[in-house]
Amino acid sequence: MTAAISLSIDGMTCDSCATHVREALERVPGVRSAAVSYSKARADIAADAGVSAEALTATVATLGYSAAVAAAVSAPAGVVDKAPGVQANDVQRSGGGIPLHIAVIGSGGAAMAAALKAVDQGAKVTLVERGVIGGTCVNVGCVPSKIMIRAAHIAHLRRKSPFDDGIEAFSPAIRRDRLLAQQQARVDELRHAKYENILADTPSITVLRGEARFRDAHSLFVRHADGAEHHLTFDRCLVATGASPAIPPVPGLSDTPYWTSTEALESESLPERLAVIGSSVVAVELAQAFARLGSKVTILARSTLFSTEDPAIGEAVTAAFRAEGIEVLEHTQASHVAFADGEFVLATGQGEVRVDRLLIATGRTPNTQTLALETAGIAVDAHGGVVIDKAMRTSAPHIYAAGDCTDQPQFVYVAAAAGTRAAINMTGGEASLDLATMPAVVFSDPQVATVGLSETEAQQAGIETDSRLLTLDNVPRALVNFDTRGFIKLVAEAGSGRLIGVQAVTPEAGEIIQTAALAIRARMTVGELGDQLFPYLTMVEGLKLAAQTFTKDVTQLSCCAG
């Protein structure tokens, strides 16, 4: 038997109080989950039948709050951790108007967006999470990495900037432990505000802690940390389990204490020497961050940096990195990795690389191995990603998937958009996800931002192109910043002049690219883009200047020529 117990709680003064109460309640033996709302002064607990209300109220009292039992309802073992007011037979739609029940596996960007949209559409949701609420982005991905990158950028500017002749530079002391504490505090804050508190305040969503696997196309087994297992049935299901770092099969690597991005972001110290195996987003971002915080960094790229993008991108980033003292070894692979006496030794075709820490950043692989997808008839691709159609529907009727566990681009905003559309489709609507104008940003310095087609992609699609590349020494904002690294490249359809792609390597490229995405979405020509009003001395004005190069020599224009 599982019991649903509700407590009314007096004395909480903020959402953080509610978080502390929830964490304390979930430490009580036998408690499956707890949802605590500061605004409602209430805690809703799912627990084993043997857990007493007195033990729960006593736990709350140890935190300085008072609690009293508001309600207690027993439910059959087949219905686990239901939200208050939801009866056992609510898990299936019936002619009596019982809400559709949707199971969501995961709690990251796709899962949360889907759960909230499904509730808006009138469904009841059970969200199953085996680990920390919030998924990759907020906990070990986007948020902590961008905090670390920003801190490293500040350290770099204090050490070196284009204005050192007039502003005295110095080498700042890097207190990694304090930076890490600041980073983790913001991560915790955002997880509580954007995930945990929202779930606690949404009674139509029930959070079930445990690891899910499919029993069949309409039910799951959910195994809790204590080994207990429950059967959960659903009308619809969304698989949104994300992805984990992929580890290459390099001989010896598995026997070493290598880092993935997770360990790198959580490290309390900075290595004197760091090697990074990888050549794309995560490898590049973290390599530069560690270098700017004081590590001697070597990147091993199997081909070149950003080898799948326009070649100019990799060339520009490589030049910028080498100028900062980051060693970029192109066309280099480790044939063997060993670790002894606190040192990694990487054997390569160009000799040995010896470092104190090794970061593996060679992509991410879908978290689908433990889901027993085959029992529900769900097809996967060669990489283990769930195969979906434009509606996010899998090969199994009534089961959908979204985010990094599929073959969709691994960006949290793509995952969230896919989750929202999946929820619409699961509740009877029709929605698809158009990625034709999906912008992407790499938070290196200079940043890399792209949208639409590169020249190569357009030509592979049979589109004849006309392209222009504008170096930043032609952009007034870059000139006054005394930082002209990089370029802006526009790809147009030959003949019509319609803009179909933009690639930018510039400081603040991420702030430029959405304007380019909107221009492509609006099917603007480069002539129309060049005729728009752009504020002078902004980096985005570079888009206008790049568009004007199709018909003019911009070196012969006055500063703010229209």
Give catalytic residues, as residue numbers. Answer: 12, 14, 17, 65, 137, 142, 559-560
Q: Give the whole-angstrom CA distance, residue 416 versus residue 412.
A: 6
Are 184 and 265 contacting, i.e. CB atoms less than 8 angstroms apart?
Answer: no
Amino acid sitting at position 322: R
**Beta bridge partner(s), residue 231:** 221
- DSSP labels for 269-296? S--SEEEEE--SHHHHHHHHHHHHTT-E
CA distances from 357 to 163, 360, 401 (A): 34, 10, 36
Cβ neighbours, 10 Å, residue 525: 17
Are 78 and 231 contacting, i.e. CB atoms less than 8 angstroms apart?
Answer: yes
Q: Which long-range contacts (CB under 8 A, 24 or more apart) does 8-12 make?
A: 8/41, 8/42, 8/67, 8/68, 8/70, 9/36, 9/41, 9/42, 9/43, 9/60, 9/65, 9/66, 9/67, 10/41, 10/65, 10/66, 10/67, 11/64, 11/65, 11/66, 12/38, 12/41, 12/65
CA trace torsion 185, 159, 295, 478 (10° rounding):
90
Q: Give the whole-angstrom CA distance, residue 22 versus residue 507.
A: 43
Structure token digits, residue 292: 């700017």
